[in-house]
Amino acid sequence: MPILNDYDGMRARAERMAMGGRPYVCVTMGDPAGIGPEIAVKAIAPGGLLGCCMPFVVGDCGVIREAAGFMADGPGGAPGPGRVTVRAIRDPADGDYAAGVVNVMEACRGGRPGTGRLRMGEATAEAGAMGLACIREAAGLALSGKADAVATAPVNKRAMRLVDGRFIGHTEELARIAGVPDARTMFQVGPLRIFFLTRHVSLREACGAVTKANVMKGIEDCSEALAGLAGVSPSLAVAGLNPHSGDGGLFGVEELREIEPAVSEMRRRGYDVHGPVPADSVFHLAEVGRYGAVLALYHDQGHIAAKALGFSRTVSVTLGLPFVRTSVDHGTAYDIAGKGMADEGSMFEAIKVAAGYASGAKGAAGRAVTRR
């Protein structure tokens, strides 16, 4: 797929936001054999997001219609089975943005009519091809300015690699399409924002990666990403590695030898960075507004904090792309796919956060938004 010029798209989005319009949020259906279609419908159909955005789905109309059958009547008259209208559109501007309506742009041209032809809960090339088509369609819409933000439902890497053996993940694919060299992931749950120095490595390897050079690079990258979020404090706290941040060397020397020198040097260069702050308090301090975000040093240090605060509300935000992209913080849940059991909470939050950042609203709060 060719790299697209995003200048016109950025200008179109800026003009739309300047006129006070609600942003168009493109929601991918994800892997059609997983829970993606179900959570997309459950998040959009009740209409609770309409106060902050105009959400539409890119995917397969047949799959989305079957997913709509999982809707149950809820409090306040939320649409149930038979009361959700799946409406095919050719352009986001053609959508009918109203409670009970799910607008769908067909991304799987020549694809399959619904999940009857799919093996639910299984990683197949057919499902992978549909999931990949959704990612590419969404990226194209965002780069052209027809969508103001993208919120992605989960895909299965095994299924994707049956189609494209080079596929690593959503973030890498979107960065490739957009032509950017790197993109960084930030977790958000409520007001708490978390970056990661290391992610998918062993704890032993993560500790070894806590060097002055790596921490300085992490501070630089995260601070620049944070500064690009409208209305968000640029202050960054670096979490400590050891108990009580080492307590002056009593419980480890990484703070003294690596982290403190890195923070001091970056402060000297003008960065609004603080730390190391003991990990047992830094996330709370960021949640209450002391810092704009936290740089966690390893995977579980940040994930535990986010998921303890809001397991079903944690959102992954990709920074460094020429458009806003958010994602749920969970997988395809093949074990419950097609059973109507999926919780749409993270999908709802992902759309809301995407709309907030697209609108430049502090903390992605935007206009009043309610989940029914």
> For residue 98, with 0-12 CB atoms within 10 Å meaning exposed, 13-18 middle and 19 or more buried, which class applies?
exposed
pLDDT score for 310: 85
Count of alpha carbons within 13 angstroms of residue 355, beta-carbon side = 28
Residue 20 has, within 13 A of its CA and on its CB side, a CA count of: 0
pLDDT at 183: 80
In this prediction, residue 78 carries a pLDDT of: 58
Please give the pLDDT value at position 173: 86
In the prediction, which pLDDT does 334 show? Answer: 95
Backbone angles phi, psi at 346, to 5 degrees: -65, -35
pLDDT at 2: 34
Position 80 scores a pLDDT of 59
Query: pTM score, two decimals?
Result: 0.82
The residues facing 295 across adjacent strands are 195, 238
Regions of the chain where pLDDT drops below 70? 1-20, 72-82, 109-117, 230, 361-372
For the chain, the farthest-separated pair of C-alpha atoms sits apart, in whole angstroms, at 64
- pLDDT value of residue 369: 42
What is the predicted pLDDT for the residue at 3? 36
Contacts of 136 (CB under 8 A, 6+ apart): 1, 107, 173, 177
Angle at 317 between CA 316 and CA 318, to 5 degrees: 120
In which element (H, E) is residue 141 found? Answer: helix 125-144
Say what the pLDDT of residue 363 is. 36
* Sign of CA pseudo-dihedral 31, 329, 316, 201: negative
Start-to-end Cα distance in the chain: 39
Residue 234: count other Cβ atoms within 10 Å of its Cβ: 18
Please tell me the predicted confidence (pLDDT) of residue 23: 96
pLDDT at position 17 is: 54
- Give the pLDDT confidence score for residue 76 in this predicted structure: 52
